[in-house]
Structure 1
Amino acid sequence: MKIKHIVLASAVLVSVSSFAQKDELKKLKRIYEKETPSANDLAEYKANLDKLSTLATEESDKIYYNFYKANTPGIEVSTLGTAPTPAQLEKILTPKTVSDYAVAANATLEYEKKSGKKVLTDEITKDITMLNPMLVNVAVDLGSVKKYKEAADVFHSVYLLDKKDQDKLYYAASYASNGLDFDNALNYYNELKDLNYSGEGTVFWATNKSTKQEENFASKVERELFIKSGSHEKPRDEKIESKRGEIYKNIALILIEKGKVEEAKAAVAAAQKANPNDESLILTEADLYLKIKDYDTYSRLAAEALAKNPTKADLAYNLAVISSNANKIEDSEKYYKKAIEIDPTYFDAYLNLAELKLRSDVKFVEEMSKLGTSEKDNKRYEAIKLEREKNFKAALPYLEKAVELKADDESARKTLLSIYNALEMTDKYKALKAKN
């Protein structure tokens, strides 16, 4: 009898506890579903979470408690009105709070899919759609102030909320790499590799007549509707090239950074086997051997790549950039000239070739500044001056062509003006200056 009484009392306590936690969950759900919760709602929300923290013992209660707790920043943002400032968002939607929400939201969606009871699925799905652009802005703002690791964490959390949006995983990998968070960057790049992500596609642009700004559209059909309505004009398509080569290159570079050269070579070989028609991987392999200072293999691969694709101006240009970064000036000049030969309107090739020619000017200026006033030094000064002029004249035709192709490019114009000035080409200087 006594034992029975004890058992009965325990049953009553369990029952009271169960009712209590169901009540707290109902209150949390009510506030969560409000479009514009108030500051008082937020206080009540937190108070109910505190109560539920000791009551949630069953799997379902733990799942929902964790979700509502992780959603607290979302309620805080909602109390700020329809236009919270970037500073307010950054303070509340930190990489950790976003990551916690992503984990809890996914756990809730998986639980409801398993149980067959859609309690929050529709609301969570709607919230993710709304949160996505807001979180992307937070990540971009973090990246703009060089908080690369934090930006990567936010982008990865956005990807976890919608794994169909693989572009966000790519951005997470890029920012993690920029932030020297190589472990996470490698994990993200490897996941992209396993997903066979390429990032290829087409961006559909048109100019808004009222704002004069270009805007992009989800599809060609959508853009056509706006053009037909008369609100937009000047449609153009922008092709996005495959990012596979870049992904495998970065995997290889990170492995090299970690001292795993053979793994890097194996990763590139596997990439080429899996994607035999991806031309960007040719550059990846060449770049790999350049990084490990195997110049003979690099030169052979570069020559092979160009022989296979003799009409690819971009390939020649990219090989020039790779060579330039490795300070292989002769190779770089050869490939820039090849790019120009293939495409005589290749602005960047002209500009970079001029920059290549002008690199040695730093050396000339440094030596001239160290010279004294002796007769020997004066002779050396005049000799260097002649070398500088010769160097300027070598760069001049490439810069003039670059400015001809893009008259509004400030970098090209300023450099050309400087050379005209240095060579005392007064008439040309004044004519170009007048076009400003």
Structure 2
Amino acid sequence: MIQTKTVAVIGAGPVGLAAAAHILERGMTPIVLEAGPKVGHAVRQWGHVQLFSPWEYNVDPAAKRLLEATGWNSPAPGDYPTGSQLVEQYLEPMANRTQLQNHILTSSRVTEISRQGFDKLKSKGRASAPFEIRYQTSANGTQVTRADAVIDVTGTWASPNPAGANGLYAIGEKDVFDRVAYAMPDILGSDRARYAGKTVAVLGAGHSAIGTLTSLAHLKSEVPETTVIWLLRGEDPAKAFGGGANDKLAARGELGSAFAALVSAGLVQVEPGFRATHLNLEEGRLRISAGSACCGRNLKADELIVATGFRPSFDFVRELRIKLDPAIECPVALAPLIDPNEHSCGTVRPHGARELAQDEPGFYFAGMKSYGRAPTFLMLTGYEQVRSIAADIAGDHQAAERVELVLPETGVCSRTSVETTSCCGDPEPARKSSCCA
């Protein structure tokens, strides 16, 4: 009797649950480990944000087949969901109403992975040893599970880029964390009281920054005492406005055009060429400096929002044999396909197991984490990734090599830079070509 392969999927966002759906279709057994208390934990953090891409581009085919077997009604394909709608209408039904409900462990944070009986140095017999995965639960402490293969789709949401223009934390940044927020706070909702009537600086030049600045400008219209400052590292603010009416993604173009009008109206104070180096409190306010803390360019604010993208964390894969591109921090074979200096979301071709596999047989990165620091990730591309990976693990290498995804002519992007939407991060060279912040 042939034993069914067990595949650990780390992360229960859209791509992680899609991976589990493809694994089930292949007759294998998924174990989905999610650090958060519910599926889509990272998505829930940006539930107020609307995606640039409509529903038709946000549902994985295998996941859809699982859902339809339960009588699920697909949302209107042309509607644009928010993060909350993505969770409520797609991820939660998948986790609670399909076969996946028996394969998902929430509040289970993976802390370490190795090969059973093998440390990183030992080679002989390594490839045939199962993976040993340790995870932490609030109820039962450290638990251990084993799997024949592992797909890491933990994303990058928990590792935002710092304020420092050199990729490091600005000096003093960690000492003023209570005055700094990252990514896209819910300015007009749950975080309104934090920012209303305050002087708020936003650092970044991609769509996460633009969306946040737009919300702050709306807040200013309701609370005139609010002051909005845009800190961008580049010299030309117009580069952040996008293609406007010529943008192939209408929603993205509308956002850029609306923001340009807000800047033109003077609702947003623009500080170009601002490369933050120091943060400190002075007389109860946040002092943000570019250059020397004493003699450089300085301004004061009550709050700082850093919207400069994300980076992956590799802490729990330390005992695995991982090979990454030194600049992008993605699998080496994937790097030339996604380099943000050369590619935008729409020019990254579909790819799969071959580009995502590591020197550790049976271990794969997928989803936003597979793109390292590149901001050009597409959710549809993530679905194609895990389809190919599931085929590869099942031994169907022909299907793994086959490309089954034709990217839409417009590209697919979201309004925010988070691991499960579409495009994430905001490295400085990518501003012009990347489709997200």
Shorter chain as denominator, the TM-score bin is under 0.3
Question: Which one has the bigger helix percentage?
Answer: 1
Between Structure 1 and Structure 2, whose CA radius of gyration is higher?
1
Question: Which one has the bigger strand percentage?
Answer: 2
Structure number with the bigger relative contact order (C-alpha 8 A, sep ≥ 6) is: 2
